[in-house]
Amino acid sequence: MKRIYMHYMSVKMKSFPCRTPVFLLRTSLFVFAFLILSSTTAFSQKLQHKRDTSKGFDFFFNAGMYLGSKANANYYRGWKNIESDYADPDINYVLNNQYWYRYILDAIDITYNDVIADTFFLEGTSEMKYNMAFVFGIGARYRFSENFMLSFLFSQVRLTAEGIATLAIKGTGVNLDKGIKYIDYPLIGKERRNFFEMNAAFLFNTASPYIYPFVELGVHVNSTKVLSSVLIVEEQSYSLINWHGEGTQLDPSITLPEIDPHLGGIGYGFMGGFGVRLTFNKWAAIEPVVQINAEKVQLAGYNEMRPNFNFMVRLVVGDQLFSKKQ
């Protein structure tokens, strides 16, 4: 009987699909709503505690992940436009360089033994996308009451945009399609963005004196610095940025001085966000936050205002830490 029962249970368990992801999603939503809209049994004995309503300053450090808009990332495709400067990324700056052209052709010949490459040209480039990047910042805020705060903060993120350039190789070989072989090579752009932000936050009371959902709105000034933009062919990087002055063509056999063209510039944006303030005591708290930023960044020809996203956690210390009465 025991064997029959175990066999029945195993068949029964196999007859139902795994619903773990759905279960976890429902559980997470339930827990989130439970934390914000109600108090737990552990908090029920502390509901009589007086909330901290004193005015004063908070200081905080925030860290998390930042996701940039691909509309701005396409700056690193290397397509020139009427707003572009001579130094802005230009894929033809690489392909039209007679020395680099020869190096690329030779590298393809060496790597692909089944092809004798005579010439090549650019077939096209893919859409560029920013990778998720680490963002960090510091700031200070003033508490006007237990429900309203005004914050000032500085944050920085280093972004990497990635895409593909497809080269069409013409020559002779058994594996060529109508005399052409198509090969994809990475396009990579890197930049640094600094943000100077001012925002106002309104906190909502809950049954617990330790949980404050909040919303925040703000404005910021951003500063973008383009660090690099390269095409990588057979492990060799070729810069799409002209670091040597207008009208120059890099000759690898000659050392030319580099000139920083200061690509990038000052932009601005607007921010909206929401989160939960979880207080430990009168002077310490953490704040998980989600922000949506409408940013206009200075990348020539690709400076449309587009949404960017922040997912971060703030560690907050209040000035009550230094007060004799805590």
Rounded average pLDDT over 233-242: 94
Single-letter residue type at 144: F
**Per-range mean pLDDT, top range of 1-15, 81-95, 122-136:** 122-136
pLDDT of residue 86: 86
**Residue 118's pLDDT band (boundaries 50, 70, 90)?**
confident
pLDDT of residue 80: 85
CA distances from 30 to 34, 131, 211, 214, 295 (A): 6, 31, 16, 19, 33
Percent of the chain with pLDDT over 90: 60
Q: Find tokens 């200070």 and name the residue.
A: 140
Average confidence score pLDDT of the chain: 83
Domains of the chain: 56-322 (2.40.160.20)
Phi-psi sector, 320: left (phi>0), alpha (psi -120 to 50), beta: alpha
Give the chain's end-to-end CA distance (angstroms, integer). 67
**Residue 324's pLDDT band (boundaries 50, 70, 90)?**
low
pLDDT of residue 9: 41
Single-letter residue type at 93: Y
Tokens describing residue 186: 């990475």
pLDDT of residue 323: 66
Distance CA 324, CA 266 (A): 44
**Residue 10's pLDDT band (boundaries 50, 70, 90)?**
very low
Q: Single out the residue of 254, 312, 303, 319 nearest to residue 75, CA to CA.
A: 303
pLDDT of residue 326: 53
The three-state DSSP-derived secondary structure of the chain is: CHHHHHHHHHHHHHCCCCCHHHHHHHHHHHHHHHHHHCCCHHHHCCCCCCCCCCCEEEEEEEEEEEECCHHHHHHHHCCCCCCCCCCCCCHHHHHCCHHHHHHHHHHHHHHCCCCEEEEEEEEEECCCEECCEEEEEEEEEEECCCCEEEEEEEEEEEEEEEEEEEEEEEEECCCCECCEEEEEEEEEEEEEEEEEEEEEEEECCCCCCCEEEEEEEEEEEEEEEEEEEEEEECCEEEECCCCCCCCCCCCCCCCCCCCCCCCEEEEEEEEEEEEEEEECCCCEEEEEEEEEEEEECCCCCCCCCEEEEEEEEEEEEEHHHHCCCC
Phi-psi sector, 243: left (phi>0), alpha (psi -120 to 50), beta: alpha
Distance CA 313, CA 299 (A): 29
Q: Is the pLDDT of residue 69 over 90?
A: yes
Rounded average pLDDT over 162-170: 94
Distance CA 317, CA 321 (A): 7
Q: Interior CA angle at 219 toward 214 and 225, to 5°?
A: 125
Distance CA 129, CA 122 (A): 20
Rounded average pLDDT over 67-71: 94
